[in-house]
Chains A and B, each alone.
Chain A
Amino acid sequence: MIDINPKNILMRYNILVESDMTPEEVAEQLYPTDPHIRQVAKAVFEGDEDEVVVALQNTIDSGVDPLSLINDALMAGMEVVSTLYDYGLLYLPDVIISAQAMIEGIEYCKEQSKQIHESKGKIISYVVEGDIHDIGKKIVTVLLRANGYEVIDLGKDVPVEEVVAAAKRENPIMLSGTALMTTTMHAFKDVNSRLLASDINVPVVCGGGAVTQDFVSDYDLGVYCEEAADVPKIADSILHGLDIRKLRDAFHKH
């Protein structure tokens, strides 16, 4: 068997751009300064569900309103996770594990409070009709919840009728649909037509497998999303007033 030194045929760009700092070291610089809040945020970062509850209870015991901790502590911890993910210092499972801890924390805060927590907005998530591949939808759903959105998860292989009915019923700020195959992704167009016919003009964010920007650009409500991590950013942009044209300008990459 031949062997060679690969240095002339391969560039390790990923290693060349690596940070000298560990994710934990960077996170330490980003946590909120209040010691109680910091404890909650750190537990979220570490994805430790039990520790999240302990830290929340300690903070509540010090007289802080439980609902305020959702934004001030849990979301702050998740913000650290998202920032490090954007830096390339964390990977998707880290985000998923932290998000799960944060979601547990939100439930705990709600239980401890008599008031109602308002989410940032409502989003419908689904996999197109004829398609049962839902790993992408699962990722998107967790990331949206981790960013403070209420997600109506319709599941996989969802008929067009059902998507449209949910949009009418729930009044979402956007829809998020995934499709793996070219043979199924045309259901996006049917959803688009039916929503327009019902005068519902919300963005339908589409991505997954064989879905392309050209295809999604071809229907009025379509916004193409290549990376699951961009979906919460698109939702935030909608809250900041971006319409479909501006969303396409901001998030279409090709």
Chain B
Amino acid sequence: MSVKHYSSMEYDNFEDLLFGHSKYPVKTGLDLEIGAGYTTAEINYAPRPGAAENKATLVNEYERITRDIMERMVQVGFPSVVLETEHVQQMTHNPEWGADIATAQKAIMEEYHDEYGIKCALRHTVGDIRGNRESIDLRGDAYSRILESFEQVASSGADMLSIESLGGKEVFDHSILRNDMRGVIFSVGILGAFDVEYIWKDICNIAKKNKVVPAGDTACAQANTAMFVAGGLLDFKLSHSAASVVRAISASRSLAAYEAGAVGPGKDCGYENNIIKAITGYPISQEGKGSTCAHSDLMGNMAMQCCDLWSNESVEYRGDFGGTTVQCWGETLSYDCSMMNTALEAGVGKTLRDVLMVSDRYRDPQAFILSYDNAYRIGEVITAHPDDLYLRAKEAGMKACELIESGSEGFLELSKFEKATIKKAQNDLKSLDENMESFICNCLHTYSSEVDTFNPSNYGL
């Protein structure tokens, strides 16, 4: 697959961004179309501990999960649903396990589709097993096994392929704990983007061969780590402003998957997807208030503003008062989708979008920069530097700083610490190298000595 670098925005105006609508909808699965004028719940789950004891127990677990979800969807009358199976390690390590699970899940989904006409699709997110105990080996045997896993699930019933790739994580973890913005740009904007492009060229080829959808990557291992460690407003771990800057930079990383041929819907935990949608026009999945079973994110409503799929991130399969957890969360997500779809039918979609967005816009700098207007502005500076990974990452970070600073002159209230850290991030970014070549050269020198597990050859450096 050839690589296309985005040099302009596919949307002309941020006002055109809206949930359930994408410029380039994606047809997939059993009569489902994503981003074609309606939203759909995407239910994500983890098997019970111990269920992965062997292939038979795991297949059985996913059969139960799938049947539970499909049954609840038709019981409550929802027209469409997406299931996302995020691989547990055993599934990716043993590609035939993933294949058997995809086959079993798809058979049940077809059964419900045939009997009730429910539109549905199955996403498989293969595990990134390239990290091991001693090191990260992005190009070795584990990589081959990942591709084999993609091949097998794609030929066995998965309709959409995704991964949360690890590239850059070793330098990122080191950097974010030291407020080191240079390391963040290097790890997310350069190393991460190199890895995403590399892996997605292969995934897109597999998807094309099997006539399934290459759906996209996320910066889960970087930006979500920063968001998760930063925590709530009363936590004193990481600056939320710094986490916002990481998120903006992460958009240039996740974009690399689309430049290599992915077409969406981008994965739910990619909060940077708002920026990606503005740039590419492809549909996205998002998580927010429906993912509180997995984590808190300070933008539970806002995350819904431009979603095409609406997800719960992940919930462990078990019993709850209202049924199994996948039934409960699936129903909650689907009611949210009913609300959005009703707003679209009634012609008040943009009003609802704005209510959702503004309700969280000033809650946190992370929500502020991902509000659709600001997300669009970050997309603009990324596309202004199509052929320079360094500049586009740096400019995305600088734009986030600028937006937060201007926001803090209005309703975006920041603590003294947040004000200080955004100023520091801004100064750090401004003082970075002029060009990518010298930046990479300096970073290789620094992080090769500071980070034990950093091996430049993983990135072709």
Contact = CB atoms under 8 A, between A and B. Distances in A.
Bound pair (A, B): yes
Interface of A: 1-6, 9-10, 12-15, 17-18, 22, 85, 88, 90-93, 96-97, 130, 132, 134-135, 138-139, 155-158, 181-183, 185-186, 210
A13 B233 contact: yes
30 contacts: A1-B373, A2-B351, A2-B354, A2-B355, A6-B358, A6-B411, A9-B359, A10-B362, A12-B233, A14-B234, A17-B234, A18-B416, A85-B236, A90-B236, A91-B417, A92-B237, A92-B238, A96-B177, A132-B132, A132-B133, A139-B177, A155-B134, A156-B133, A157-B133, A158-B133, A182-B316, A183-B47, A183-B49, A185-B49, A186-B50
B225, B354, B413, B414, most chain A CB atoms within 10 A = B413
B15 interface: yes
A161 B95 CA distance: 27
Given A3-B358, A9-B359, A186-B50, 15 more contacts: A2-B354, A4-B358, A5-B411, A6-B363, A6-B411, A12-B233, A13-B233, A13-B234, A92-B238, A97-B179, A132-B132, A135-B229, A138-B177, A157-B133, A182-B316
Interface in B336-363: 351, 354-355, 358-359, 361-363
Interface in B370-387: 373
B131 interface: yes
A126 B225 CA distance: 19
B379 to A, nearest CB: 16
A206 to B, nearest CB: 14
A132 B132 CA distance: 7
A64 to B, nearest CB: 30
Nearest to A23: B417
Interface in B163-189: 173, 176-179
B415 A18 contact: yes
Given A2-B351, A96-B177, A158-B133, A88 B236 contact: yes
A93 B178 contact: yes
B134 to A, nearest CB: 8
Contacts of A181: 46
A79 to B, nearest CB: 17
A210 B401 CA distance: 32
B49, B88, B89, most chain A CB atoms within 10 A = B49
A190 to B, nearest CB: 12
A22 B416 CA distance: 9
Task: Tell me the interface secondary structure of chain A in the complex.
Answer: loop
A1, A2, A5, A22, most chain B CB atoms within 10 A = A1
A186 B46 CA distance: 14
A158 B133 CA distance: 7
Contacts of B411: 5-6
Nearest to A94: B179
Contact of A155 (B49, B133, B237, B361): B133
B89 A130 contact: yes
B328 interface: no
B131 A132 contact: yes
A10, A85, A130, A135, most chain B CB atoms within 10 A = A135
Nearest to B51: A183
Contacts of B105: none
Given A2-B351, A9-B359, A10-B362, A183 B88 contact: yes
Given A5-B411, A6-B411, A9-B359, A183 B177 contact: no
Contacts of A1: 15, 354, 373
A15 B415 contact: yes
A28 to B, nearest CB: 17
Contact of A6 (B179, B362, B421): B362
Contacts of A22: 416
A85 B236 CA distance: 7
A206 B354 CA distance: 42
A133 to B, nearest CB: 8
A184 to B, nearest CB: 8
B436 interface: no
A138 B133 contact: no
A97 to B, nearest CB: 6
B432 to A, nearest CB: 18
B52 interface: yes
Nearest to B221: A133
- 6 closest Cβ pairs, A-B complex: A14-B233, A92-B237, A93-B179, A132-B131, A157-B133, A2-B354
Nearest to A6: B362
A134 B229 CA distance: 12
B239 interface: yes
Interface in B204-244: 225, 229, 233-234, 236-239
Contacts of B421: 91
B413 A12 contact: yes
Contacts of A157: 132-133
A13, A92, A138, A155, most chain B CB atoms within 10 A = A92
A205 B399 CA distance: 42
A137 to B, nearest CB: 10
Contacts of A10: 362-363
Interface in B297-346: 316
A91 B132 contact: no
B45 to A, nearest CB: 11
Nearest to B237: A92
Nearest to B354: A2
Contacts of B131: 132
B3 to A, nearest CB: 29
Nearest to B360: A10
A135 B225 contact: yes
A91 B133 contact: no
Contacts of B363: 6, 10
Contacts of A92: 177, 229, 236-238
Contacts of B46: 181-183
A131 to B, nearest CB: 9
A134 B316 CA distance: 22
Interface in B42-79: 46-47, 49-50, 52
Contacts of B88: 183
A6 B176 CA distance: 31
